[in-house]
Homo-oligomer: A and B are copies of this chain.
């Protein structure tokens, strides 16, 4: 997480092949804090790699998520978004500007006797920037 060489090393150790496509997708994700969708990643990587197939993007994202090198965001959006950060944190989606903002928040391990392995916390509302322009004039 957050380190491309380390991620490549881990994938290699797990027997995955390091193709140029996979490296390009990883680089696109790790250089992007906007939580892109599969087609946004595809569009981005295609600028340098025009032959890249959307299916390969989906396959690679699924692989990376299974390897726990990235995570996905399903709540609050119509399409699945992807996040290179795998450490516990939440997301805030602004209903005005659409931005997806990281919120630092601790993870939980145990609750009511249930063993928690993963959690997804998504807030929706108006972000601080939009609040200012909406309520104090711009």
Chain A residues proximal to chain B, CB less than 8 Å: 73-77, 92, 94-95, 101, 103, 108, 111-128, 131
Q: Are B118 and A121 in contact (CB under 8 A)?
A: no
Residues on B with beta carbons closer than 8 Å to the beta carbon of A92:
111-112, 114, 116
Contact of A95 with B117 at beta-carbon distance under 8 Å, contacts A74-B76, A75-B74 already known: yes
At the interface, is chain A mostly helix, strand, loop or mixed? strand
Give the interface centre of A73, A112, A117, A123 by most chain B CB atoms within 10 Å.
Answer: A123
How far, in angstroms, from A43 to B121 measured CA to CA in the complex?
30
Q: Are A76 and B120 in contact (CB under 8 A)?
A: yes
CB distance from A131 to the nearest CB of B (A): 6
Residues on B with beta carbons closer than 8 Å to the beta carbon of A123:
108, 111, 114, 116, 118-119
How far, in angstroms, from A121 to B111 measured CA to CA in the complex?
13
Residues on B with beta carbons closer than 8 Å to the beta carbon of A122:
75, 119-121
